[in-house]
Structure 1
Amino acid sequence: MATKRVEDEVQEPRPTVREAMRSVLAQAKLIAGGEGLDRRVEWVRLMETPEVQPRAGDLMFTSGFPIKDDVSAQIRLVGRIADSGGAGLVVRPLPYMRKLPPEMVSEADRLKVPLFTIPSDVQFVDLMSPLLERIINAEHWLPVPRPHPRVANMATKRVEDEVQEPRPTVREAMRSVLAQAKLIAGGEGLDRRVEWVRLMETPEVQPRAGDLMFTSGFPIKDDVSAQIRLVGRIADSGGAGLVVRPLPYMRKLPPEMVSEADRLKVPLFTIPSDVQFVDLMSPLLERIINAEHWRLKRSIEIHHRFTELVLDGKGVNEICRTLADLLESAVVVEDASFHLLAHAGGSADPHRKETILRQGTPQRVLFDPQIQRMLREVEAKRGPVKVPAFPHLGMSRERLIAPIFASNQVLGYISILDHPPRNEELAFMAIEQAALVLALSIAKERELSEVEGRVRGEYLEDLLHGTYGDEAAAQRRARHLGYPLHGSHIVVLVDIDDFRGFNKARQISEDAIQALKREFLRRVTAVVRTTYPRALVQGRSDQVVALLPLGTEVADHQARSHALGLQIRQAVADWKPGFTVSVGFSAPIEAPSSVAGALREVTSVMESLARFKRWGQVVAVPELGLTGLLAAVSDERLVDYSRRHLGPLIEHDSARKGALVATLRAYLETGEQQHAAQRLRVHPNTLRYRLDRIREITGLDLEDPETRLNLSVALRVQSLLGM
């Protein structure tokens, strides 16, 4: 049914003049010839010289410049259109004709030739382009039988191979359409892309970017300086080049014009007098419009493919793989904080390898001034940007980078490496579509993650506070959340070291503090979930607490826990250099009954580390030993204990710049005079002299076990308190 509707709509593909009036010619005013509005428009032509001969179906456009001073020629033009079976005439009277002569209007009515006028500010190209597009599309419209899918895929691939660069360069046009043209100058500009072709009918025609201009020179035939300026105007606008038919108006191109074309690298051609512009412009226009339709078709196909992924519930990983397959390129997707979300495809680029290994772009790369400028440019453009190589950062090749936007907020970035160089337009289309569906997917996953995180966090909080109800209720909630409550578990506490001091030193706003805490939670969660996917994780102010399921395999839990702590510490250091955390682990426990007690124990140890300013630590409560015991003692009692046993030695060292305390520590820790002397790098006799001085000052027997224990504890307290 859908196919039949399309066929019904395109039974008469080429428009009539009446149909054109409803759309393209809506700004035109019908002056005469209303009885001929059902003439079919087969082509559109611009009348550049008086000799232009209308053909059947031609809708002619003119400013009247070629016949501005010849009323009889104006009347004859209407007759020539009627005799040839032309479709009509569109005139822009100002500034050359001012108004149409009454005889011309009467002739158009008599011969039923539609005659229109348009305002002086309307450009012919804005009317001719959509009409040409409609006509060429109609020419190529053919209902065809649907081939077998395998044949269709092969055909599609062949078309894609043939149309890798849809719009031709001037060099490519020389091999086909412009084969009869002679290149006079500007050979260094042959790789300019031809975006459109235009006929120069009046001196005021302004070239546009990508325009390949055609002229007989009639509008500027007597003005050499205007001929030279035309080359400059094409160069300034980014035009593709200039094709001139010198005879009969210019005879030959002035040397200055040729030199200017060479200097500005503007391709300049001449064609024989018997070659019609329309025979060159038509196939070029056809190629350009077909390319535009190919681009639109591919864009729709790409959009449908990505949209289906979203509708099928596929996530970021599948979208990333699809983009990599479409472009046969290496793709990386990161969130707004440059944490890795997905990657697909292969590449030997060192930066990409490091990004995948570290699960995100390294901070040294993000803080590079060139990268900062590039990211600002990407965000400002809100679309794909080609980024040069940055070898000093390991980015050895250029890449395409695009932001993922939603509600004017950057959700992430797509990076494409090794995209097809001859199909960059396709790459840009695919990235734009991928960014759109990734925004939907990331927003959906973020919302689901927030809901899941909130539910899992509430359950963890109940376990930590012992408010989970009875054990059966805790088991039901664990099954619902997919958390294995059987076996052993470990409570982990990650604490930002001296967070108050960090805030005070930088005077961060409350919004920035909350954003920092959210990012801290996200990064710690990412590291924990890499090793323990089903762990429960919750943020608590400047801390993150997690419950890790060990199951029944607890033999190597200490090594695994310590490795996880080091990974967390490194991830935070990579994210924010100078920002440190301490990580504490409980002993293996049973859940749910022992979770609250384990948290209290770990919290007590972490508070002790903070008191003693032992930052950046990774500790397990069972391994803490003496420090764990000292954690329960107040600072005042610890200071008093240390001074009671070490006070005289500290005063001696302070007054005489001595090293008796350091000597005592080395002796007690090594347990032997020879090793202590080696550690202190002094002669054994010097060590014995210092030990005698310690005995003399303190009156203590260093061989007594209890004395040695008291002194060892006092030295540990001194170290912990930084005395």
Structure 2
Amino acid sequence: MELAAPETSTPSHEPTSSDDPALSHEPTLARVLQERLFRDATITGDGARDRVVTWCLPWQQALSGEEDLDGVLVYARESDVEADQLAELRARRPVALVVAGGEPGTAQADRADAEAMPIITVGAHTDFRQVGRLVAELVLAHEAHVMRYGVRVHQALAELSYRGAGISALCHQMSRLSQCAVAVLDSDYQVLEFAQAGSVGESSTPSGEVLTARTMRELLRDDPPDLLDRALDGGRGPIVGAVEIAGNPFTCVVGAIVLGGRHDGWVVLVEPAARPHPHDVAQHRVVVEQAITIVGTEMLRMRSISEAEERARGDFVHALLHGRFATEADLAARAEHYRFPTGSDYAVIVAGGFRAASGGEPGNAVPNAVRDVARTSPPGTQTLAAAVGDVLAVVYRFDRPKRTTPDAANRFVADYARTLEQDLVRKLGVPVQVAYGRPVSGAVRITDSYREARIALGLRQQLGLDSVCGFHELRVFAALSELAGSPVGKGFADELLAPLREESTGGSDLERAVVTYIECGGNVNAAARALHIHRNTMLYKLERASRALRLNLREAEHQFALWLACKLELLANTTATVDRELRPT
């Protein structure tokens, strides 16, 4: 089955029947003039005859409006045509004016505008009904022909979509129908699928270089053609344009995939000829037009499946992190589904700071990071990632070499954590903070590593540490972790710090001065500079703190006691926050 072209080549001078679908070219002016009704017509003016004719209007109705008459053939009787009205009509750009009756001559030629509006003189017996019916028949024949081909293409693609064959099969089917290379791109200009033309119509450059997915990716990576953006902005179906690939000209038919107001990518059909036949271009337009909705629907279906799988995988990761498996058998059964061994060595790495970096809600940063981490794992390892609120949690499985010390295992995890932080910063474009827990053996103990990783992340954020840190690196906090949560540790911290926080003694301002003084090693001048206050003011604050505490802050033992109380409180608060998430009441 053939299809009419969007542009008409030089028309044959032989009259043809409009009932022959094989010859039903798009009804241009040249095509209309081939009909028997205009066989004896006289044409004045050399205006463009490749303009498309879509409708016919009588003279009075055409003059009554103000809209553009592009695509309209105007019919008039010789007695109706006035010179001033003719100039007004010409300004509205009709395809041509058909004048019935009268003899063509110099006066008629003077009326014609060679570039804007040819005048076609026919016999007085030719009425508007005949001309209007002819135009309508030609337009309907063309539309029906296009529709028949569109139904054929739609059926071929819809059958594959109904069977769930996937985008790759749809791409190859489009290539077989068009005998051209076809690519499906996502909204980020990435090639999702590429199908080369068959052996009959292989798409190759004049130099013999075959067009491949690699050349398409290089083109999109270096400088995506503006044809893609114009197809998206146009909103009027596929567009045709010339694109240079590997130094050779190609003709591309591009359609933007937009469903429900969401842009998911493009369908690109690459015709190897720099100036293809208009009939071929028309066929390619129909193929792309029909494919847009079907490929978009398939992308939606695959995205729904992928999101469902991600949610199920995320539930499994959450269960690992929070220890929600009833038995080890339950854990083993779920892990087998994801091909996740339960007897290896594991460590949990967490990344935070997305909210602060984005200036508000983390948005899609964490989900995007989950997908990126899931797709990339070092050789010989396996990762599972999930979003826990605004924190990214990664379960990192690795094979610990025999006779490996705990420090060596920690370094192994630290290397991956640093690489992960660098990748996240590069891909997301925002600074993130990464911390990790100590390695554990057995999947049932993953929750212990996760708890340590969250504590390490909280401490890193509180202390303002610049680099990746592990729980084992915070040696003081690791040693104090049990004491911080005990009644003894909490009582010790409250007893020492409470006097500094009373309103009568100055509140948090006094506490900050004491903590800064201790962190500066008891150096009054350094503490004053850190707080941007005068040295005498610093001495006054320390004197007030000493009276409130009934301790001499110049003694190292008392400084250590206050430092220990601050660390215990910080660790207790961080641990309590993590435990509330791990063990909600």
TM-score normalised by the chain length of structure 2? 0.60
Which position in structure 1 is the counterpart of 2:388?
540
Select 1:402's aligned residue among 253, 256, 275: 256
Write out aligned runs for 1:270-419 (5 A). 270=121, 288-320=139-171, 322-323=173-174, 328=180, 331-334=183-186, 338=188, 342-344=192-194, 346=213, 352-353=220-221, 377=233, 381=235, 384=237, 386=239, 400-405=254-259, 408-410=260-262, 412-414=264-266, 416=268, 418=270
Q: How far apart, in 2, do the equivalents of 1:595 and 1:244 lie? A: 88
Q: How far apart, in 1, do the equivalents of 2:358 and 2:26 lie? A: 61
Greater RCO, CA 8 A, separation 6+: 2
Q: 1:270 to 1:437 in 2, by over 3 A?
A: same
CA contact (8 A) 2:242 2:251 kept: yes
Select 1:644's aligned residue among 490, 498, 521: 521
Letter in 2 for 1:525: V
Which position in structure 1 is the counterpart of 2:96?
241
Partner of 1:594: helix, strand, or coil?
helix
Q: How far apart, in 1, do the equivalents of 2:60 and 2:120 lie? A: 19
Deviation at 1:522, TM superposition (A): 2.7
For residues 88-137 of structure 1, the C-alpha deviation after alignment (integer angstroms, 9 at most, x for no partner) is xxxxxxxxxxxxxxxxxxxxxxxxxxxxxxxxxxxxxxxxxxxxxxxx89
Select 1:469's aligned residue among 326, 345, 348: 326
Partner of 2:51: helix, strand, or coil?
coil
Letter in 2 for 1:404: V
Q: How far apart, in 2, do the equivalents of 1:540 and 1:227 lie? A: 74
For residues 146-188 of structure 1, the C-alpha deviation after alignment (integer angstroms, 9 at most, x for no partner) is xxxxxxxxxxxxx7xx98xx4154467679987976653253x
Structure 2 unpaired stretches of 5+: 1-16, 196-212, 245-249, 402-408, 485-492, 494-510, 535-559, 561-566, 568-585
Deviation at 1:465, TM superposition (A): 1.6
Deviation at 1:232, TM superposition (A): 3.8
Q: How far apart, in 2, do the equivalents of 1:652 and 1:413 lie? A: 57
Which position in structure 2 is the counterpart of 1:697?
none
The CA RMSD over aligned residues, in Å, is 5.5
Which position in structure 2 is the counterpart of 1:132?
none
CA contact (8 A) 1:168 1:193 kept: yes
Q: How far apart, in 1, do the equivalents of 2:330 and 2:183 lie? A: 45
Deviation at 1:448, TM superposition (A): 2.9
Letter in 2 for 1:231: R
Letter in 2 for 1:342: L
1:211 aligns with 2:56: no
Q: How far apart, in 2, do the equivalents of 1:624 and 1:551 lie? A: 22
CA contact (8 A) 2:382 2:398 kept: no
Q: 1:602 to 1:527 in 2, by over 3 A?
A: same
1:621 aligns with 2:470: yes
Q: 1:320 to 1:374 in 2, by over 3 A?
A: closer
Letter in 2 for 1:211: V
Structure 1 unpaired stretches of 5+: 1-135, 142-158, 504-512, 574-578, 658-709, 711-716, 718-723
Partner of 1:644: helix, strand, or coil?
coil
Letter in 2 for 1:265: A
Deviation at 1:526, TM superposition (A): 2.1
Q: 1:322 to 1:487 in 2, by over 3 A?
A: farther
Q: 1:304 to 1:599 in 2, by over 3 A?
A: same
Identity %: 15
Deviation at 1:540, TM superposition (A): 1.5
Letter in 2 for 1:195: T
Q: 1:174 to 1:478 in 2, by over 3 A?
A: same
Partner of 1:593: helix, strand, or coil?
helix
Letter in 2 for 1:527: D
Deviation at 1:483, TM superposition (A): 3.3
Write out aligned runs for 1:544-559 (5 A). 544-550=392-398
Q: 1:542 to 1:548 in 2, by over 3 A?
A: same
Which position in structure 1 is the counterpart of 2:44?
184
For residues 526-555 of structure 1, the C-alpha deviation after alignment (integer angstroms, 9 at most, x for no partner) is 211221497433222111212244467999
CA contact (8 A) 2:269 2:284 kept: no
1:608 aligns with 2:469: no
Q: How far apart, in 1, do the equivalents of 2:461 and 2:133 lie? A: 80
Partner of 2:262: helix, strand, or coil?
strand
Which position in structure 1 is the counterpart of 2:570?
none
Q: How far apart, in 1, do the equivalents of 2:61 and 2:238 lie? A: 35
Which position in structure 2 is the counterpart of 1:451?
308
CA contact (8 A) 1:492 1:546 kept: yes
Q: How far apart, in 2, do the equivalents of 1:647 and 1:483 lie? A: 56
Q: How far apart, in 1, do the equivalents of 2:60 and 2:532 lie? A: 98
Letter in 2 for 1:297: R
TM-score normalised by the chain length of structure 1? 0.50
CA contact (8 A) 1:411 1:439 kept: no
Deviation at 1:303, TM superposition (A): 1.4
Letter in 2 for 1:167: E
